[in-house]
Structure 1
Amino acid sequence: MLDIAEELHRWTEEGRDFAVATVVSVGGSAPRGPGAALAVDSEGTVVGSVSGGCVEGAVYDLCVQALRDGDTVLERFGYNDEDAFAVGLTCGGVIDVMVTPVGAGSPVRTVLRAALAAAVRGEPVALARVVRGPAGLLGGALLVRPGGADGPLPEGNDEEPYEGGLGGHPELDRTAAAQARAMLDAGRTGTVEVPASGARWGSPQTESGGGSHCPGGLTLLVESNVPPPRMIVFGAVDFAAALVRAGKFLGYHVTVCDARPVFATRTRFPDADEIVIDWPHRYLRRTTTDGRTVLCVLTHDAKFDVPLLEAALRMPVAFVGAMGSRRTHEDRDRRLREAGLGEEELARLRSPIGLDLGARTPEETALSIAAEIVATRRGGTGVPLTGSGTPIHRDGTERGSAAA
């Protein structure tokens, strides 16, 4: 749902009633992953997508129905071999979609409005919603922010580590908030299981400690809104401007770093989010990186490359690639070994950077580099799909320390 936060935030500010359909889980080949959403307002206006067109019509009808009756529903769509005209995914996959009405009297409207506002402001937040469990909890929502307390709070402390609730069960809310915060810290969107752990959930607690037991626990869909991952392009060379544009297209926050102020200029790199004039290795050591960060070394000059790669290959980043000829790579490899890097660290280096596309121009080269970054991130092979037999849509799990 947070993927269409800007439009839905505007709707909530305008006081519109709407229903939002969110992909909860995916099996097999499917066009879009968990968190993808489509929403319909009371006037029939549509934003977003859950399947790239396969089941949008049926989901639209579910949203209209949800607005009418006020019920949250969970629906499964898959391919039906026996009926070629049945509504389903022609790619053969299966998706579960949860449809939630967000009317003026909806119990989740307040927390969804807060989540959408935070996402529009670019704040890191996680929205956790119940997608499996007792009927009374389905669709219940929590808004979780980084930090804060996990688990039971000290007696007399009324400060909660979340906003919203899952049906009046503080113990369940805190457990769910802890799970959601772990997903937020990793920058991941997907489902997590909240075990029953002997607690009695599903109906309000009585003074005698009653309530209905939920033996299977709950399943939460956690949507994480985190700052975009970083791409740092080292070397203000002619290929860099095209790579900056490709990085922006892929959703990265792109930085260009070069020690030469005559080359690292806003005129040459108008699409970069920031331009840094500094020695590359010195900047890398002082800047913030994480498990989603991509480092592209385009300098192909040993005095820049070696100290930079010596630092980069020891960091838990997602991708480290370096430009250069085969001969340059061999010389670079020798120098890095002399600097003390081991086989495991050197194996992380993508060099020469990019996939073999026969690229010649800066734009083609940028495309080959971007393609390798995507393949590394998604676990792709980089081979043509024609005749390969490999899955077109994978399970959505991203490689590396964290996902986007």
Structure 2
Amino acid sequence: MFDIAAGLNRWARQGREFAVATVVATNGSSPRQPGAALAVDSDGTVIGSVSGGCVEGAVYDLCRQALADGESTLESFGYSDEDAFAVGLTCGGVIDILVTPVLADSPCRAVFAAACSAAAQGSAAALVRVTEGPAELLGRALLVHPDGRYEGGLGRHLDLDRTAAGQAHAMLDAGQTGSVVIGEDGSRCGQPLTLFVEATVPAPRMIVFGAVDFASALVKMGKYLGYHVTVCDARPVFATRGRFPEADEVVVDWPHRYLEATQLDSRAVLCVLTHDAKFDVPLLEKALKLPVAYVGAMGSHRTHLQRNERLREAGVTAWELARLRSPIGLDLGARTPEETALSIAAEIVAARHGGSGVPLRGAHTPIHHHEVRGHALRIGEVA
């Protein structure tokens, strides 16, 4: 749902009634991951997507029905061999979709409004909803904040809310979205409950070192991919807001000094485009020791070999050097800054999702690397 938080936040502020359809589980090949959402307001306006088009019409009808009767529903959509025109996923997978009406008098309205507001502002939060359990709990919602506070409720017992909030808080810390099962004792409902926990966290960081022409194209690509993008260069004549209007930040500082003073998490990507030893070596010495998702450096194969030798002389270990993506990017035959930015972005995406970077034609690898469905975790179970 958080992928359309900006639109839902606007609808909530305007007082509109709407229904939200959220992918809560997938099995086999599926075009969208859990958390993807489509919403329909009372005028029939649509935002978002749950399937890339193959079941959108049926989900739209479910949202309209939810607006009419005020009832939440859980529906599964899968592939149909018998009828090529039947509602189903032509990619062969199965998706479970939870449809929740958010009406003026819905008990979950305040929670949804707070969740969408937090996501739209880039704040961290986790939204918890019941997907399997007593019918009257379907559509209930609870919002958990990073400090452990929660608002809303799943109904019946405070113990259930506390248990659900604890599980959601752990998933929020890890930035995870998925399902968790609470057994009969914990649910206090006489039966197990399956909860869908959807976490929203601030955008991951992309830091582009080197205010060069390639950086301008990469900033645009980084923003398109959802990163909070910073450009850093020690040369004030090049590192200007006028040259990088799309960047979230433009910093004039020595790259290694800026990196030392910057807090980064494991999702961060660092792109070194300076290909100048006086900048690259001290920066990469520090960057390759950080537990970030990606470190790439621009330069020819000759530059790469020379830079590696300098890094070894500076004490960088073989294991640390093995983390360096250099020359940066995938081999796309790129020539222009825009094509080069695309090759860098492609490598970042492949690294993030475990892709090989080879053409899909003739490849015997999954198209969607999230398609192997894991079972919902039970309380006390180790992931």
TM-score > 0.5 by shorter chain: yes
Q: For 1:147, what is the secondary structure of its paired residue?
A: coil
Give 1:112's aligned residue: 112
Q: For 1:199, what is the secondary structure of its paired residue?
A: helix
Instruction: Say whether 1:374 aligns with 2:349.
Output: yes
- What are the residue-to-residue correspondences of 1:116-131 with 2, within 5 Å? 116-131=116-131
Q: Deviations over 1:268-306 (max 9, x none)?
A: 222211111111111001012111111001111222111
Give 2:239's aligned residue: 264
Distance of 1:199 and 1:29 partners within structure 2: 33
Instruction: Say whether 1:169 aligns with 2:157.
Output: yes
CA shift in 2, pair 1:195/1:278, >3 Å = farther
Give 1:157's aligned residue: none
1:136 deviates by 2.8
Instruction: Say whether 1:222 aligns with 2:204.
Output: no
Q: For 1:290, what is the secondary structure of its paired residue?
A: coil
Distance of 2:45 and 2:337 partners within structure 1: 42
Give 2:268's aligned residue: 293
Q: For 2:342, what is the secondary structure of its paired residue?
A: helix
1:118 deviates by 2.1
Q: Deviations over 1:307-364 (max 9, x none)?
A: 1111111111110001111122112222222222223222211111100011111111
Instruction: Say whether 1:183 aligns with 2:171.
Output: yes
Distance of 1:109 and 1:48 partners within structure 2: 19
Give 1:324's aligned residue: 299
Distance of 2:132 and 2:279 partners within structure 1: 53
Give 2:55's aligned residue: 55
TM-score by length of 2: 0.93
Q: For 2:186, what is the secondary structure of its paired residue?
A: coil
Q: For 1:76, what is the secondary structure of its paired residue?
A: strand
1:27–1:395 CA contact under 8 A, matched in 2: no
Distance of 1:162 and 1:382 partners within structure 2: 42
Q: For 1:25, what is the secondary structure of its paired residue?
A: strand
Q: Which amino acid aligns with 1:310?
A: E
Same amino acid, percent of matched pairs: 72
Give 2:258's aligned residue: 283
Q: For 1:84, what is the secondary structure of its paired residue?
A: coil
Distance of 1:47 and 1:87 partners within structure 2: 20
Instruction: Say whether 1:199 aligns with 2:186.
Output: yes
Give 1:34's aligned residue: 34
Give 1:88's aligned residue: 88
Give ranges in structure 2 of 5+ residues lacking alignment. Answer: 373-383
1:28–1:393 CA contact under 8 A, matched in 2: no
CA shift in 2, pair 1:241/1:188, >3 Å = same
Distance of 1:238 and 1:14 partners within structure 2: 42
Q: Which amino acid aligns with 2:38?
A: L
Instruction: Say whether 1:341 aligns with 2:328.
Output: no
Distance of 2:371 and 2:238 partners within structure 1: 39
Give 2:8's aligned residue: 8
Distance of 2:67 and 2:161 partners within structure 1: 27
CA shift in 2, pair 1:305/1:68, >3 Å = same
CA shift in 2, pair 1:367/1:147, >3 Å = same
Q: Which amino acid aligns with 1:141?
A: A
Q: Which amino acid aligns with 2:98?
A: M
1:162–1:177 CA contact under 8 A, matched in 2: yes
Q: Which amino acid aligns with 2:35?
A: G
CA shift in 2, pair 1:396/1:267, >3 Å = farther
Structure 1 window deviating more from structure 2 (385-394 vs 303-312): it is 385-394
Count of residue correspondences = 372
2:130–2:137 CA contact under 8 A, matched in 1: yes
TM-score by length of 1: 0.88
Cα RMSD after superposing both structures: 1.7
Give 2:17's aligned residue: 17
1:63 deviates by 1.3
Q: For 2:217, what is the secondary structure of its paired residue?
A: helix
- What are the residue-to-residue correspondences of 1:360-371 with 2, within 5 Å? 360-371=335-346
1:127–1:144 CA contact under 8 A, matched in 2: yes
Q: Deviations over 1:134-164 (max 9, x none)?
A: 323222211111123xxxxxxxxxxxx2001
1:23–1:50 CA contact under 8 A, matched in 2: yes
Distance of 1:350 and 1:200 partners within structure 2: 48
